[in-house]
Structure formats: C-alpha cells, structure tokens
C-alpha cells in the first residue's frame, strides 16, 4: 500500500495534475505527469470509473495499479494521475503491470 505522503488526496490536486501535466496514453491507461521541483518522491492518484466494470473489478484494478506504482515512488519527482480505461479489468497482472511500466517510462523520457 502507498504511504499517505505518496498519495494524491485532494480533488484539486487531481484536477491540477490532469490539467497541467503531460498526458501519455496507452491502450488501457492514461497517465498524467506533473513535475514538481524540489520533490523527492512521487505522489500517485488513481481514477477508475464505472466504465471499467463493477466495484469488484474497479477495486482489483486499483490494487494492481498501486502495487505497480510502488517501484516508481523514488524514481518520479512529481504528481501522477493514472486513469484506467475500459478493458483494464480484463488484463491479467503481468499485462497491466507491463503496460503501466511502459507508460511511466515513456512519460519520464520526455
């Protein structure tokens, strides 16, 4: 589980990251990255809407994304919002994790 200091908690933080951050899209995920100078660790927020599936599927996707985000806490310096798209619930752990890693790496390159 992500520590409190590594989570986006306020709606205005989500909005600011999605509005001003860099947008990287993949087949099942959209990642918004907003660099924050002077920040040593990343803060993550996850948006998994009802179009992904029922409550069980949405929670499963969020848990998997949180687990995948643990490896990037010290690598990123800024705020990240990860939005799951329809079909993310049908992916197994390996595919979702790989797609997440590829999207994060692509966002960090730019």
pLDDT in tens, 59-94: 999 999 999 999 888 888 899 999 999 999 999 999
The domains of the chain are located at: 4-109
Residue among 109, 79, 95 at smallest CA distance from 26: 95
* Beta-ladder partners of 110: none
For all residues of the chain together, what is the average pLDDT? 93
CA 20/CA 73 separation, integer angstroms: 20
pLDDT in tens, 17-45: 999 999 999 999 999 999 888 777 889 99
pLDDT recorded at residue 40: 76
pLDDT recorded at residue 98: 96
pLDDT recorded at residue 22: 93
pLDDT recorded at residue 109: 86
Whether the CB-CB separation of 60 and 89 falls below 8 Å is answered with: yes
**In angstroms, how far is CA 6 from the centroid of its own chain?**
12
Residue with tokens 């205005």: 12
Query: Would you say the pTM of this structure is higher than 0.85?
Result: yes
How much is the average pLDDT of 81-108?
95
The answer to whether domain 4-109 has CATH 3.10.580.10 is no
CA 9/CA 95 separation, integer angstroms: 27
How much is the average pLDDT of 54-58?
97
Residue among 14, 9, 12, 26 at smallest CA distance from 80: 14
């Amino acid at each position: 589980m992500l520590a409190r200091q590594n989570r986006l908690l306020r709606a205005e933080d989500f909005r600011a990251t999605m509005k001003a951050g860099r947008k990287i899209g993949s087949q099942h995920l959209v990642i918004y990255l907003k660099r924050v100078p002077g920040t040593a660790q990343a803060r993550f927020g996850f948006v998994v809407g009802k179009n992904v599936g029922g409550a069980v599927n949405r929670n499963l996707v969020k848990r998997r994304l949180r687990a995948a985000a643990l490896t990037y806490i010290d690598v990123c310096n800024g705020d990240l919002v990860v939005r799951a798209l329809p079909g993310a619930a049908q992916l197994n752990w390996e595919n979702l994790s790989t797609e997440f890693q590829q999207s994060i790496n692509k966002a960090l390159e730019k």
